[in-house]
Copies of this chain bind each other. A is one copy, B any other.
């Protein structure tokens, strides 16, 4: 492709609206153009990237045995009423009325439509399992669209749905799709983690999120660098310390701690190691009795874990100051287990502590040298804290690290969540009508582009992998318009690479060399060949990979072979 026949439109500065690096760079590089809040046009340069992602996703879906179809984007309300989501989905669902005043929505997802197709098309166990996918434009009317294509309202998604006679079959397909997703992100050259996840509003059981690692990610992930263990912080298990509880060495003593309300103040005031202190949180229970939860001073209570404990009120609710005073005789800031007659739950780490510093259950007083069994009863023990970096990994193979991620894929075991309300049944071998087991599998195709740039960029612009770059090679001629020699060499190399099936851009625009070089870096094109008269005089051109610190002179005769060898396939 020649730039003059294409459309390159770069900007020196990103519009003020953009916050994230990827959003700024996509606007500056002219990959996208804003139409309205959360609505972007994919400009020619950006569309090439989007299509490359789409092609990889499609290939891996085909390989995984999913069959492609295309459902309408506009969906009748009746199906959503059948599933119960017409009410449930809220304002994210873009609703509309047609000319006959009938209700429709712009599909944000297609469980209802695909289930409607399957209940009409499939009625016997002999036709199962089946797995369908589509690549489609979807719409979610986000409260606050932002980050460009990463949280746009209109976006491109690959969504797949599988149908099964039983759970074992669902798990088999789920595992196949999980592997296909790993293949997609590996092929695109992305650093990612598949993390165990809650199923959230879509319901069902069993789910993994695929997170592209990036500092700006909205999700916090715990992972083991020495294995493939990864989980959202909400789900990552904090193991009990390996060492047993040490013996008590100090007597329990009361210390007056005026105006000390926080762990930080306590540590500062008493000059103790924060790891000797205990944080007390009082929550409501299913009965009216408040429950004391204890985590080490430097740890955080994990509300998702705490809420799952039997007898604890859901959603997790903090006890009121009045209830706390009634039960403990003190205000928050001076609470502890000593003398408290109610239920006490200690985090696994706390359960292994000796000589603890805790609240005295008297305002402005704390106790030091507190030990379970001696000064207060042994507590119930549970994992109720967030993991921290350095915790032993639940996989047993090292210690956990934390990072941020951008969710680009999600696989769910929906079970019969949709099949039951929509009566998507099949006749089993035994002649009985049963609801189908169902899985669903989504990839944010357009979001991947943003996430990849979030992961791959530097101060000069985007750094695309070979698999995602709009062009794999850019030829930058120094003086295409004024040097016959340069023009002939550039044209020849362009045609040679194109004939090899390499996506090559010849930047024949009538711009200063500095502009062409800067644009090639801003656009993130992985391989660059600069052709100038001086080099040609010695039979050389300059090759530079996008991540290389400097250029290398290569023989003109060798450059095509050099590029071929450099490009990842």
Q: Which residues of A contact B (CB under 8 A)?
A: 5-7, 9, 33, 35-36, 39-44, 47, 50, 65, 67-76, 91-92, 94-96, 98-99, 104, 106, 113, 116-117, 120-121, 130, 132, 137, 139, 141, 143, 153-154
Contact = CB atoms under 8 A, between A and B. Distances in A.
Nearest to A30: B121
B73 A73 contact: yes
Contacts of A69: 7, 41-44, 47
A69 B71 CA distance: 22
Contacts of A71: 35, 41-42
Nearest to A42: B70
A39 B92 CA distance: 22
A36 B154 contact: no
A44 B5 CA distance: 35
Nearest to A122: B9
A75 B113 contact: no
A96 B95 contact: yes
6 tightest Cβ-Cβ pairs between the two chains A and B: A96-B96, A42-B70, A91-B99, A39-B72, A36-B76, A41-B71
Given A9-B121, A67-B6, A116-B35, A154 B41 contact: no
Given A36-B104, A74-B106, 16 more contacts: A7-B67, A7-B121, A33-B117, A33-B121, A35-B72, A35-B75, A35-B76, A41-B70, A42-B70, A43-B69, A44-B68, A47-B70, A72-B154, A73-B73, A98-B153, A99-B141
A176 B44 CA distance: 20
A91 B239 CA distance: 62
Nearest to A126: B510
Nearest to A93: B99
18 contacts: A6-B67, A7-B121, A33-B117, A35-B76, A39-B74, A39-B75, A41-B71, A41-B72, A42-B70, A44-B67, A44-B132, A47-B69, A47-B70, A73-B154, A95-B96, A96-B96, A96-B106, A99-B141
Contact of A72 (B40, B74, B117, B120): B40
A113 B35 contact: yes
Interface centre among A35, A40, A65 (most CB of B within 10 A): A35
A49 to B, nearest CB: 11
Contacts of A94: 74, 96, 98
Contacts of A47: 68-70
Nearest to A156: B70
A42 B70 CA distance: 5
Contacts of A33: 117, 120-121
A140 to B, nearest CB: 10
Contacts of A121: 7, 9, 33
Contact of A137 (B73, B75, B98): B73
B113 A41 contact: yes
Contacts of A41: 69-72, 113, 117
Contacts of A117: 33, 41, 43
Contacts of A137: 73, 137
Interface centre among A41, A68, A75, A94 (most CB of B within 10 A): A41
Nearest to A73: B137
A115 to B, nearest CB: 12
A143 B42 CA distance: 32
Contacts of A132: 7, 44
A154 B141 CA distance: 20
B130 A7 contact: yes
B106 A5 contact: no
Nearest to A114: B41
Nearest to A50: B70
A360 to B, nearest CB: 51
